Chains A and B, each alone.
Chain A
Amino acid sequence: MSAFLEVEGLAVSYGPIAAVEGVGFSIEKGEHLTLLGPSGCGKTTTLRAVAGLETPSSGRIVIDGATILDAVQGLSLPPEKRGLSMVFQSYAIWPHMSVFDNVGFAFRVRGMGRERARPAVERALALVDLAGFADRPASRLSGGQQQRVALARAIACDSKVMLLDEPLSNLDAQLRIAMRAELSDLRRRLGMTSVYVTHDQEEAFALSDRIAVMRGGRIEQLGTPAEIYCEPRTRFVAGFLGMKNILDAEIRPLSRESGYAEARLAGDIIFRARDPFASGSAPSPASIGFRPVDVRLETAGEGIAGVVARSLFLGDVAHYYVRSGPIEICAHDRPRPELSDGREVRWRVDPDRCLVLRE
């Protein structure tokens, strides 16, 4: 059986500029997918195309067995016929209506009377902790409350898939963390299927079953949060997820050990690195990446020779910048008074913690 939501070959362009190109993914029922990427990567455009708010030039979207978009056949259901719900970045709470009318809008559109809609509206408001707010005018709500009303509106109408467009980005930091926990709890209780858009990696890790990292209108890598974090495939994904040490390298696969490669860095430094995506031939151009916490610093012994160029003391940890010929790396360690600036050191990285990255 195919997936619950399936997107294939989606492309959206504004005039000559392609905002989204060949994006495809599929989601199982009850699954939570996050589109993650920097601004301008096409994640919001993708979401709006699924919603029917953008007109894709090509692509196919199927929800629960029903085709809602098929550019080849010229089929595109209008947004209201797609059976979706959405939480907008601006919340989009209608200021001329009460909280009840906002949340119950879907029922009004279906011609259902207020009294028949009341149980569903009140249930949704209770789920977001706004029980008793039904009769308030929507214009008298705080930002956090508006956010909850928007969520209640999306929950109330029993949609097949809920779309969320950076729903937490307009909240202040503390509220954002609290709402993140609530949102995660809510989606588990309701078993909802959702697509979530954000540029915040922590949010993505905390709220997703799978993450699609986007760049320049395409999906660069799709996987579980752990896969994305531990095995970024490309230089861009690694950098976006905070892998601070990324160094250009020439890669030669090791025939003895499949999955590992020899990396030659500038200054003839040789490394052993893991390549989870190895496919026979060596990638080129390529680089290797490792996190600062995975660097072992010693004052003597094995490893690559280097000099501490500068250090930053941050309390529990210290950041050491080490120069080895033409390259410079960053290591995070507990503060070690002996590693003063100018000190000669040796450093190494466990080959399992050092990844081959593609462009």
Chain B
Amino acid sequence: MALRGGFSTETAVGAGLGAVVTWLVILPLAAVAIGAATDTGGLSARPFLDVLGSGRIIANTVIVGVGATAIAVAVGGALALTLARIETPGRALLSRLVTVPLYITPLLTAIAWSWLGSPRGGLINLVCRRLLGIDSLVDLETGGGVVFVSALAYVPLPFLLISAALRSMDPSLEESARIHGGSTFQSLRLVTLPLMLPSIVGSALLVFVQAMGLFSVPAVLGMPSGFYVAGTEIYRSLNNFPPRLAQAAVWGLLLLAVTAGLTWLQTAFLRRNSYATVTGKAFRPRMLEIGWARHLLALFAIFYVAVAVVLPVATLLWAALVNFITVDLDLMAFGLKHFRYVLFEYPKTYLAMENSLVLGVATATLGCALGLALSWSIVRRPGRLSVYLDQVSMFPLAVPSMVLALGVLWVYVRAKALPIYGTISILLIAYLTHYLPIAVRAGSGALRQLHSELEDAARLTGASWGRTIRWITLPLTRPTLVATWSLLFILSVQEISSSILLYTSRTTVLSVAVFDLWEAGNVNALAALSVIQLAITFLALLALSRAGRREGVA
């Protein structure tokens, strides 16, 4: 029996994947570009001129992007050095706590901080007025507030990337700097810092792309005081009547141009500045001796966790349980009436929860499948197609999620062939595209660890490609798949930036329901719903760490 083409199944799969990533990634980005140049009816430069005329908003966007990135990378890098290279008391626990903000959507952090730091009703100001008689100690409903809270939310990204780089650096490089006469500080500055530069630049870019296109934090802390950025401007253009579609697209295109340009610069930079000395191998890092100062650094880490996690979550919990927002201890009473309202009376809760869970499961499952298939083609069948798959599936890293959602909106508002506008599927497509890089990175990491001869041996012993994947590849990459699935689920349940553009009343999701309550000013119900959303997230995290412990042996 003759079968044509040695790897016919794989070739077909590869070609199919090429079509899928083009459809998911390239199509919406092209749509943004086309949309930007189209005013009602025909080609026009007017939307461009309108947008370029709003210098104020452009400046605000740059301030938030640069400010949040600078603070997040500085704090994240300092925490990485503190927790990876210094005997900080309690560093095992702190290393895990520091990454928790990754799982809390910036929307909730921003809402909590708006209650804590608004100029009139902010809790900090109320407490200060009562105790110290000072008026308006802090005001977070400003540009500074937006930068501060965004930075808090993004610190874990540089922390994770830089500590990974620190751990995979051969400690003998630094030791030899010491032996040849360098002080601790000198060897850090002259040897370690340059070697960490790729991870520092990489994480800075990652944060910058997200901060530039951020919607939730500027919406909560900026809009009330008239501080607008590109993200909120896209939202306002689309919620205007009639919607100013072209204007939104121009904002999207502008963001895209900046982030794509920076990504290109980063690639050029890495080509010159990455060294093979930072390998994938894990070394035992050498600890820096800094004496009593390590206690101060531990305090710094604790302070970050307090400000980014404990304080916001505690505020949300308190607001969900208290009868109404007040600092007067005599008036305070606690109960579950807001939960009762949110769960049994507020009409959107069940719909939003159902949609979010369905989307979470679907995004995680399809994302893992697509990620594994893509990374298999990329890692195991190197060639021109795999380079295309690799690059295109990484594109979304350079695209703010709002811009991507805008493109998706554009494509499906008019697509007669695929009438999914107004359904949950359009959200699924946006989520899948946005999280594609995470799924592909995780998959290729796992596959690179798996010797290809394990698969070859199965083929030689008579298993078809499909069976080889099912019996060999899937079981051996399961720990990674479980972790990726949970991460995608958590991120999807929290997603707001693309949801806010794509939802309809039938397809509302948890984050959007929270945002609706915030706009309506229903503070306590909002807190109760946020607490429910957080609970779902932390249950998923708990299940993940349980699964991780069980799979740990494999």
| Chain A residues in the interface with B (C-beta under 8 A) | 48, 51-53, 55, 67, 69, 74-82, 84-86, 88-92, 94-96, 105-106, 109-110, 150, 153, 157, 163
Alpha-carbon distance between A80 and B464 when the two chains are bound, in angstroms: 6
Contact with A along B461-485 (1 / 0, CB 8 A): 1111101000010011000000000
How many Å lie between the Cα of A175 and that of B453 in the bound state? 23
Question: Could you tell me the distance between the alpha carbons of A84 and B16 in the complex, rounded to whole angstroms?
Answer: 30
Q: Is the CB of B453 within 8 A of A90?
A: yes
CA distance A92 to B461 in the complex (A): 12
When the two chains form their complex, are residues A105 and B463 in contact, meaning their CB atoms are under 8 A apart?
Answer: yes
List A contacts of B460 (CB < 8 A). Answer: 51-53, 79-80, 82, 84-86, 163
A48: B residues at CB distance < 8 A: 456
Give the shortest distance, in Å, between A257 (CB) and chain B (any CB): 52
* B1-39 contacts to A (CB < 8 Å): 1-9
> Among the interface residues B2, B451, B465, which one has the most CB atoms of the partner chain A within 10 A?
B2
A74, B6: Cα distance in complex, Å: 9
Chain B 90-114 per-residue mask, 1 if CB under 8 angstroms from chain A, else 0: 0000000000000000000000000
Interfacial chain B residues near A80, Cβ < 8 Å? 459-464
User: Which of A90, A92, A109 is B462 in contact with, Cβ under 8 Å?
Assistant: A109
Q: Given A90-B451, A92-B453, A96-B476, A74 and B461 touching (CB < 8 A)?
A: no
- Looking at the assembled complex, report how far the CB atom of B89 sits from the nearest CB atom of chain A, in whole angstroms: 37
CA distance A105 to B464 in the complex (A): 12
Nearest chain A CB to B446 CB, angstrom units: 14
Q: Is A53 touching B461 in the complex (CB atoms < 8 A)?
A: no
**Residue contacts A-B, CB under 8 angstroms, 19 given:** A51-B460, A55-B6, A55-B7, A76-B4, A76-B6, A78-B465, A79-B459, A79-B460, A82-B460, A86-B456, A88-B456, A88-B457, A92-B451, A92-B453, A92-B457, A95-B554, A105-B458, A157-B461, A157-B462
For residue B332, CB closer than 8 A to chain A, the reply is: no
- Assess whether B3 is in contact with A86, with CB atoms less than 8 Å apart: no
* A77 with B454: CB separation less than 8 A: no
Closest A residue to B465 using CB positions? A78
Which of A55, A69, A89, A105 meets B461, CB within 8 Å?
A105
With a cutoff of 8 Å between Cβ atoms, the chain B residues found around residue A76 in the complex are 4-6
Contact string against A for B residues 426-461, beta-carbon threshold 8 Å, 1 for contact and 0 otherwise: 000000000000000000000000010110111111
A52 touches B459 (CB 8 A): yes
Q: Tell me the bound Cα distance from A48 to B459 in angstroms.
A: 12
With contact pairs A78-B7, A78-B8 given, residues A53 and B459 touching in the complex (Cβ less than 8 Å): yes
- Not counting A96-B554, A109-B467, a sample of 19 additional A-B residue pairs whose C-beta atoms are within 8 angstroms of each other reads A51-B456, A53-B459, A77-B2, A77-B3, A78-B7, A79-B456, A80-B460, A80-B463, A85-B460, A86-B456, A88-B457, A89-B453, A92-B457, A94-B454, A94-B457, A96-B475, A105-B458, A106-B462, A150-B457
Q: Complex Cα distance A150/B458, Å? A: 12
* Least distance between B552 CB and chain A CB atoms (Å): 13
Choose one: A51, A52, A78; the contact of B464 (CB below 8 Å).
A78
**Chain B's nearest CB lies how many Å from the CB of A146?**
12
**Interface-centre pick from B453, B456, B460 (highest chain A CB count, 10 A):** B460
Residues of the A chain whose Cβ atoms lie less than 8 Å from the Cβ of B458:
94, 105
